[in-house]
Amino acid sequence: MDQKELNWAPGTKILVILAHPDDPEFFMGATIAAWTSAGFKVQYGLLTEGERGVSAAFPDWNLLPEIRKIEQRKAAAVLGVHEIDYFGYPDGYLKGSLELYKRLVAFIRKVQPDILVTCDPNMLFSHGRYVNHPDHRAAGQIVVDSLFPAVGNASFFPELLEEGLMPWQVKELWLCLTNEPDLLLDADAFWKTRYQALCEHRSQIGDPEVLLQRLTAQRGNAQEPYREGFKRIVFGG
Q: Where are the domains of the chain?
A: 3-234
pLDDT the model gives residue 5:
80
Task: Say what the pLDDT of residue 226 is.
Answer: 93
Residues 35-90: tens digit of each pLDDT:
999 999 999 999 999 999 999 888 898 999 999 999 999 999 999 999 999 999 99
Q: CA–CA separation, 137 vs 124, rounded Å?
A: 7
Return the biggest CA–CA distance within the chain. Answer: 55
Q: What is the mean pLDDT of the chain?
A: 94
d(CA 150, CA 168): 9
- What is the H or E stretch that residue 102 is in? helix 98-111
C-alpha to C-alpha distance for 107 and 44, rounded to whole angstroms: 11
CA proximity to 179, closest of 124, 104, 223: 124
Q: Which pLDDT value is given to residue 237?
A: 63
Q: With pLDDT > 90 as the criterion, what percentage of the chain qualifies?
A: 86
CA distance 209 to 222: 17
Q: Which of 173, 149, 160 shows the shortest CA–CA distance to 107?
A: 160
Strand partners for 15: 43, 116
Calculate mean pLDDT across residues 165-189: 96
What's the CA gap between 27 and 8, in Å, rounded?
22
- Separation CA 133–CA 39 (nearest Å): 32
| Region label for 81, one of left (φ > 0), alpha (ψ between -120 and 50) or beta (otherwise) | beta
- pTM for this model (two decimals): 0.96
CATH superfamily ID and name for 3-234: LmbE-like (3.40.50.10320)
* Distances, alpha carbon 165 to alpha carbons 48, 151, 168, in Å: 24, 10, 9
